Structure 1
Amino acid sequence: MGAIDHLGIVTLGADDAREGLLLSAEAHWNQNEADWRFFLTKGTVFGIRDGDRLIATAALLPYTSNNAWISMVLVTQNWRRRGLATKLLDACLDAAAKQGLTTWLDATPAGATVYGPLGFTPTLELRRLRFAGSTSPATSKPRPAADIHLDDLIARDHCAMGFDRGALLGELSRRPGSQLISHGGAMALVRGGRTARQIGPLFAADAGSATALIETITQSETGPILIDVVSEHDGFLKNLTNSGWTIERPFQRMRFGRATIPSAAPPFAVAGPEFG
């Protein structure tokens, strides 16, 4: 730990978005500059610099009902395993405690082994899947959800999460290229990322309608697509893998602090591990 004692924690601002993007791109994550600007303007992003270079980050994004998300825990390659991530995570937890917030995060398997001993409790599990896309032109376009307004998506999300994320979903849906899409009672948000389009959150009454919506979306896309599926929807997962989707990695959702919301039926897919 002595090697990092001289490195202080700073609070980053909107002008640091491109530096943050360099860190997430180095880790092969899908966040784009707009994602970073959202965290930097709507949340608190802590950083550590080595001279002028940003070498580590962690973000605390508050939602409603005293809940917040921790994400963007990143350390550049040659500074890893020296305690920087833990130092920044502690800063997030301290800030959350001062505000009376229950914190959540979606951890990689390696991260979960670190967060568990710190007091994080496992909740649901996620699986990230990738669809490589087609090399041929799209044959059809998904029907825009003209009868499904943003308010409907926010209401479904509030019911599933237990707290309101209207500011997040509104910002994501207004980005260039984002679409609200519905099919047979299922609905989802599709947005751009650094290397792939991303589906989520996705809500449906059953695996069949969720799968039909995914088929509608993939027919309109030629590039790669990512989706983070809640693992308990095993029928939906099986349908996707049978349709050419491949599982990339698992995530473990974890909570620090007491539960402030009642359990509810989870969505079929989440907005992403960075947002919950």
Structure 2
Amino acid sequence: MDATDGPPILKLGVEDAIAGLVLSTEAHWNQTEEDWRIFLHDGIVFGIRDGMRLVATAALLPYSGNNAWISMVLVSGTHRRRGLATRLVDACLETARKNGLTSWLDATPDGVAVYGPLGFTPTLQLRRLRLVRPARADAPPSSSASIAALRARDRRATGFDRTALLSAFAQRFGSRIVSASGAIALVRDGRTARHIGPLLADNAAAALAMVDTIAHSETGPLLLDAVASQAAFLEGLTTSGWTIERPFQRMRFGPATAAAEETPFAVAGPEFG
């Protein structure tokens, strides 16, 4: 099939948030309607419809310093193996190229085999972990840390200014920013589990203590996307009952435009970086 054949690629709007949520729910992903609204409001989301039904998406979310995140590459089970994902990722890359943006993404092992030949370069590796908690919790830790403190620490770890994203997370019902002993983390709702991240800390012990404090104040399952090179942190999590679900490979298309001053212990999520 020629690249121009097939159903047209459309730019989606905020009114498509529920349709996007249907796709990510089918894939058993953890995104909420609010997550979709971030992509649709602050980024560019490409989609393909079959009649009125949205069957495939890919999003390009811009950050500072001429960087952008590619994510939400989803195809309904009824429409896979038709090249739709490739067409949509190509649309994201072409948009990034026209705007002089370096593109980033977090790929599954299958995705690495697709994105590598396109010219993406591997950077750090992630591990998605899950913790299932009993329905009992201690008093929640204080949410005394400010969004400004989280934003500043996040910028040192990523090289990006993500004020809009982090503020959107922090303003949600149930979100909290927790800080103690050189560690700071954001906790927010997901569709099926609460998510911890980003998590920044002076050392692995402080990061593990922060996760333990958060875990003992929650009643439901938790997700966390740990940086694999933080070996002591990762080992501490698995020893304390966290289970590794899947790996992700962070990849970059284009020149590095930002230098990180520290390595995070956990990221905001593979869809956000």
User: After the TM superposition, which of the residue ranges 259-268 and 31-40 deviates more from structure 2?
Assistant: 259-268
Asked if structure 1 preserves the Cα contact closer than 8 Å seen for 2:184 and 2:200, the reply is yes
Asked if structure 2 preserves the Cα contact closer than 8 Å seen for 1:130 and 1:226, the reply is yes
Q: Quick check: 1:27 aligned with 2:32?
A: no
Give TM-score scaled by structure 1 length. 0.97
Please give the alpha-carbon distance, in whole angstroms, between the structure 1 residues aligned to 2:65 and 2:87: 26
User: After the TM superposition, which of the residue ranges 260-269 and 163-172 deviates more from structure 2?
Assistant: 260-269
Please give the alpha-carbon distance, in whole angstroms, between the structure 1 residues aligned to 2:27 and 2:263: 28
Q: 1:3 to 1:161 in 2, by over 3 A?
A: closer
Structure 1 residue aligned with 2:181: 184
3-state SS, counterpart of residue 87 of structure 2 = helix
Gaps of 5+ in 2: none
3-state SS, counterpart of residue 217 of structure 1 = helix
User: After the TM superposition, which of the residue ranges 259-268 and 167-176 deviates more from structure 2?
Assistant: 259-268
What does residue range 1-276 of structure 1 map to in structure 2 within 5 Å?
1=1, 5-135=5-135, 137-144=136-143, 146=144, 148-276=145-273
- The one-letter code sitting in structure 1 at the alignment partner of 2:93 is L
C-alpha displacement of 1:183:
2.0
| Runs of 4+ residues deviating >4 angstroms | none
C-alpha displacement of 1:109:
0.7
Asked if structure 2 preserves the Cα contact closer than 8 Å seen for 1:45 and 1:57, the reply is yes
3-state SS, counterpart of residue 269 of structure 1 = coil
C-alpha displacement of 1:3:
11
C-alpha displacement of 1:140:
2.5
Give TM-score scaled by structure 2 length. 0.98
RMSD: 1.2
Tell me the number of residue pairs that the alignment of Structure 1 and Structure 2 aligns.
273
Q: What percentage of aligned pairs have identical amino acids?
A: 62
- The one-letter code sitting in structure 1 at the alignment partner of 2:141 is P
Please give the alpha-carbon distance, in whole angstroms, between the structure 1 residues aligned to 2:8 and 2:32: 26
- The one-letter code sitting in structure 2 at the alignment partner of 1:89 is V
Asked if structure 2 preserves the Cα contact closer than 8 Å seen for 1:185 and 1:209, the reply is yes
C-alpha displacement of 1:4:
8.5
Gaps of 5+ in 1: none
- The one-letter code sitting in structure 1 at the alignment partner of 2:54 is L
